[in-house]
A = this chain, B = another copy of it.
Amino acid sequence: MAERDAVLFANEAFYRAFVDRDVSAMETVWSARADIACLHPGWQPLIGRAVVMDSWAAILGNPQSPKIRVRDPQVQVHGDAAVVICYEQLGEDFLIATNLFAREGSVWKLVLHQAGATAGEPAPEGPPETPRRFN
């Protein structure tokens, strides 16, 4: 798997854990080895695995927590770290997010997440792809 695809895969896993309200998957997405930090919009900054994971347990355990979709992810690789900049769609609204991953062996682990207000919007989505037929 190409490096950027591996980073995008890790980014997708983060949002999949969010959508699925899967605390265990969220714990796996984040690094258990490196320093981590999470800057939820309008929260106090959370630094360190204990407080970051507590925040996700609260968010994912809340049935009112918003549905989220990742849009237009862009990857920038800096050695053993890689950033994904992406929109987060929440209903009709958009946030802009930075997700920083660190390489740990063959996988990329999330070490920092910040989301905040943006005036931007992702590119319009095209029509759904025609399903491929394999026969």
User: Which residues of A pack against B, CB within 8 Å?
Assistant: 34-37, 39, 41-45, 47, 74, 76-81, 83, 85, 96, 98, 100, 102-103, 111-112, 114-120
Contacts and interface: CB of A to CB of B under 8 A. Distances in A.
Contact of A117 (B41, B74, B76): B41
A43 B121 CA distance: 10
Contact of A79 (B37, B80, B85, B115): B80
Given A47-B85, A78-B81, A79-B103, 13 more contacts: A35-B78, A36-B76, A39-B85, A39-B96, A39-B98, A39-B116, A41-B116, A42-B119, A45-B96, A79-B79, A80-B80, A81-B81, A98-B112
B120 A34 contact: no
